[in-house]
Amino acid sequence: MNRFSGDAGSQDAAEDRKLYVVDSINDLHKLHLCPTESQRLFLPAEKVPGGGAAAGSGSYGLFFLGLIVVLLLSLALVSFVIFLIIQTGNKMDNMLQRLAAEGKDIDDLKKLNSMIVKRLNQLDSGQN
């Protein structure tokens, strides 16, 4: 396990970078070295020709543009809902004022009706 030469350290580092395939969980001790062609699939983004980061910046731009559009739509919907709530509150206040005025009118009509009934009863008892 222990290696004493300076080359052994560089060889361990090279082996650590290689990909291994495990046939099954029971055979973990039997590691097979992957072919070097498959290791090329996992290169870091900096080493990819054409600058892998440049393609991602477009998606970030679209993401932020979509986020801004969604936020603006949400703001518009919330504003519309607040407008409807205020308008409905104003209409309810008008209806309550009307009902209160009609209630007063109904009470006045009841008083007039009772006065008329009393007067008719007095006239009827006076004629008898």
Degrees (nearest 5) of the Cα angle 108, 114, 119? Answer: 125
pLDDT band for 69, please (50, 70, 90 cuts).
very high
pLDDT over 90, % of the chain: 39
Higher pLDDT, 53 or 63: 63
Q: What global pTM score does this model have?
A: 0.40
What's the whole-number mean pLDDT along residues 21-48?
A: 54
CA angle 20, 23, 25 (to 5 degrees): 105
- Please check the confidence at residue 117 and state whether its pLDDT lies above 90: yes
User: What is the rounded distance in angstroms from the CA atom of residue 87 to the CA atom of residue 34?
Assistant: 71
State yes or no: pLDDT of 56 exceeds 70: no
